Structure 1
Amino acid sequence: MNYKPLLYALLIGSTAVSCIRKEAPNAEADITGCTLPGNVLIQDSIDVDVSYDESLNAYPIYVQVKKGTDCSQLAPTFTLTPGATIEPASGSVQDFTSPVRYTVTSEDGQWHRTYSISIEEEKVKEIPTTFHFEDTRTENGYYVFYETSGTQELTWASGNGGFRLAINDAEPSEYPTTLEEKGFSGKCAKLVTRTTGSLGAMVGMPIAAGNLFIGKFNLSNALSNSLKATQLGVEFYHKPLKLKGYFKYTPGNQFYENGGYTNRKDQFDIYAIFYENKDENGQSVMLDGTLPLANFVHPNLVALAQYKDTQVLNSWQPFEMTFDYDRYGKSVDLDRLNAGDYNISIVISSSKDGATFEGAPGSTLWIDEMSIIYE
């Protein structure tokens, strides 16, 4: 007798039974995702991959939402492991003025996990208003200036990163923005207009002015559009009145413009802007290095302070600049000010026209002990 057909039938039958047999209920009880309705999140997503906190007797999830969000009426939606349930219910409105505890139960009902969900408004990020230019760190071979005051922090931006693309073997002291040990008080910032070598000349950027500014330098745009790469401003929660500090300046010997050197005298530049960081549709606005070329004309500008005296001074001198609000005919909205709807930036350069790659190599501006006076 041929037993093979019978054997095949038994095998196929057992396989079919195993395929239709119900899987065991899931024993996992995890939150795998969390979202909030509306555009209220600060971060792109909420981190739910957290460790157990014995002090809370729960798995903590921390969420930051934008300023002005009503945390007493929020309805987070959760994604859970298959078959799991959650209490309070996903999507239900809860009062998050204090942490809310959620319990997730596995599909098989045997496992539970407790989460503590904390939702807080974004904390105001105040910047220091006094700048000593004492503290630096070295990044990518050049100096980066930063200021701290209690919980306040500010990192100054500069064009050093763009200079590095042209001359990547320069020492920190050979960059346009560097540190000087002998300032007006302690150390200071030293800004020098430098030549950028054959590579810089080849791309139409033969000089690089030393500069410092409040904002950020977008290195990815440094070669294609350096003015747009210079992005100006951070949130400021006060009405600025004056900018004061100390400087000294020595211009370089020969001014470079229009492909050659002339007898024109170089000048430094110090200016500060205060502007609305949202347009009429509520979209974010970031002003950039094209602003001086537009003679500081922009619909979002509220006030401008700029140093006007072009006198060459080789010894430390005080300066004081007043923010001109009359120029733009705008008043400061206190509610918007408290909500972080205004930006401030300070720009300092060893060559006033350095943004268009005109200036005298060797022009040097020292800057120290600067402060914003505000209301």
Structure 2
Amino acid sequence: MMRNWLFAPLFLYALMLQGCIKDAPLNPEADIETVVVDPHLLTGNIFVDQVNRTITLNLTNEAYESGISPVLILSKGASVKPASGTLIKFDADQDVVYDVTSESGENTKRYTVKVVNIGHWDFAFENWKSHSTDKYEYPVDDDGLQLWSSGNAGVALSGVPARSDAYPTRSTTDGYLGTKAAELVTIKGTPLSELIGIRLYAGSLFLGNFNASQAMLNPLKAIEFGVPYKGLPKSFTGYYKYSAGPDFINKAGQVQPGVKDKCSIYAVLFNGPDRLNATNIMTSDQVIAMAELRDGSDKANFTRFDIPFVYKQQAVISKNLMMAIVTSSSAEGDQYRGAIGSRLVVDSLSIVPLL
């Protein structure tokens, strides 16, 4: 009798505890966290852009022609169509997309696959697309693929209006050849950006990716330079014109009397497959050769440049080469120094290979 009396409270407590324990809520996340592809099919690292929901693949010619079967690592419990491991093939007229549904079923995301498979190194900037939400422009090749990036995605986070002319990098009909060129303008920062000490944004255009997830915490590391390159380059050529804005300001927003803004245009060959970023593009041991425009002063009319690549002595050249082309309307724009109103137009850029 005493035994039953002792266990009765424990039994009631167990019932009460069981009633308080509820099943854990289903996961609402619907992300493709990682993409795994056989390294022999790649010429560079895979980049998953969670902000713009794109997956950039650097593929060999054989992989592009035959298709690949990526393994997708998803948020816990999420599902995806087509399924992870499914063979996907590429068609210039139709995007490859992955539709992800969260474990809870309440959220879905669509990721678009971008393929980098460069067969030529002449860039005319004739074709442009607009971001579906933020409306900034970016150049694409004849197949509609994006090779070039800019800081526009980061500027979009600072609260600029959703129209192309509000951003520092856009297309222009003021080109040297054809109907369009790339226009880069240093613009004033927004009230939101000024809260974190960014008083201007330089126009920038570069081969590589802008990792928007790093834009606020590590803005210089968000700029990821380089796409795969085969062979060795001889020179970097193109056309540009430039006009500096009236007042050069430092990072604190103070006008620097006697200081004049200048543009920046250069190309860098380096050992991959890891990309360089704005903190180490000029100093990394991965760098093999560089071609840099030394004269960044005003040019009222289009001016041609033809700059030879200067190779580092005793540089070790790997099989995974990367090429970065970088242009900016303010040479010190990566440090948020420059002149608001500085304008650079670039057209018909080209990497000339060694014969």
TM range (shorter): 0.5 to 0.7
Tell me: CA distance 1:305–1:152, structure 2 relative to 1, closer, same or farther (3 Å): farther
Structure 1 residue 156 corresponds to structure 2 residue 142:
no
Gaps of at least 5 residues in structure 1 are: 1-35, 52-59, 65-122, 278-283
Of 328, 332, 336, the match for 1:353: 332
Cα displacement (A) at 1:48? 12
CA contact (8 A) 1:128 1:154 kept: no
- Deviation sequence 1:303-349 (CA, Å, 0-9, x none): 11111013311111101111111x3432545xx2xxxx111110000
What letter matches 1:233 in structure 2? G
Residues in 2 aligned to 1:318 and 1:208: alpha-carbon distance in whole angstroms: 26
Structure 1 residue 276 corresponds to structure 2 residue 271:
yes
What letter matches 1:62 in structure 2? L
Which residue of 2 is the match for residue 128 of structure 1?
120
What letter matches 1:244 in structure 2? T
Of 35, 57, 71, the match for 1:44: 71
Which residue of 2 is the match for residue 226 of structure 1?
219
Gaps of at least 5 residues in structure 2 are: 1-35, 42-67, 74-78, 90-114
Residues in 2 aligned to 1:50 and 1:228: alpha-carbon distance in whole angstroms: 32
Q: TM-score, normalised by structure 1?
A: 0.62
SS, match of residue 316 in structure 1: strand
Residues in 2 aligned to 1:169 and 1:154: alpha-carbon distance in whole angstroms: 23
What letter matches 1:200 in structure 2? S
Tell me: CA distance 1:178–1:332, structure 2 relative to 1, closer, same or farther (3 Å): same
Residues in 1 aligned to 2:152 and 2:116: alpha-carbon distance in whole angstroms: 29
Tell me: CA distance 1:238–1:224, structure 2 relative to 1, closer, same or farther (3 Å): same
Aligned length: 256
Which residue of 2 is the match for residue 167 of structure 1?
159
SS, match of residue 298 in structure 1: coil
Which residue of 2 is the match for residue 367 of structure 1?
346
CA contact (8 A) 1:255 1:266 kept: yes
SS, match of residue 230 in structure 2: coil
Which residue of 2 is the match for residue 187 of structure 1?
180
User: Which of these two proteins has the greater Rg computed from alpha carbons?
Assistant: 1
Of 309, 318, 326, the match for 2:295: 309
Tell me: CA distance 1:324–1:197, structure 2 relative to 1, closer, same or farther (3 Å): same
Residues in 2 aligned to 1:195 and 1:297: alpha-carbon distance in whole angstroms: 29
Identity, % of aligned pairs?
A: 30
CA contact (8 A) 2:226 2:322 kept: yes
Off by >6 Å, runs of 4+ in structure 1:
38-42, 46-51
Cα displacement (A) at 1:50? 7.9
Structure 1 residue 254 corresponds to structure 2 residue 247:
yes
SS, match of residue 262 in structure 1: coil
SS, match of residue 192 in structure 2: helix
Residues in 1 aligned to 2:271 and 2:164: alpha-carbon distance in whole angstroms: 36
CA contact (8 A) 1:126 1:153 kept: no
Tell me: CA distance 1:302–1:182, structure 2 relative to 1, closer, same or farther (3 Å): same
Tell me: CA distance 1:258–1:156, structure 2 relative to 1, closer, same or farther (3 Å): closer
CA-atom RMSD in angstroms: 3.0
Q: TM-score, normalised by structure 2?
A: 0.66
Which residue of 2 is the match for residue 288 of structure 1?
277
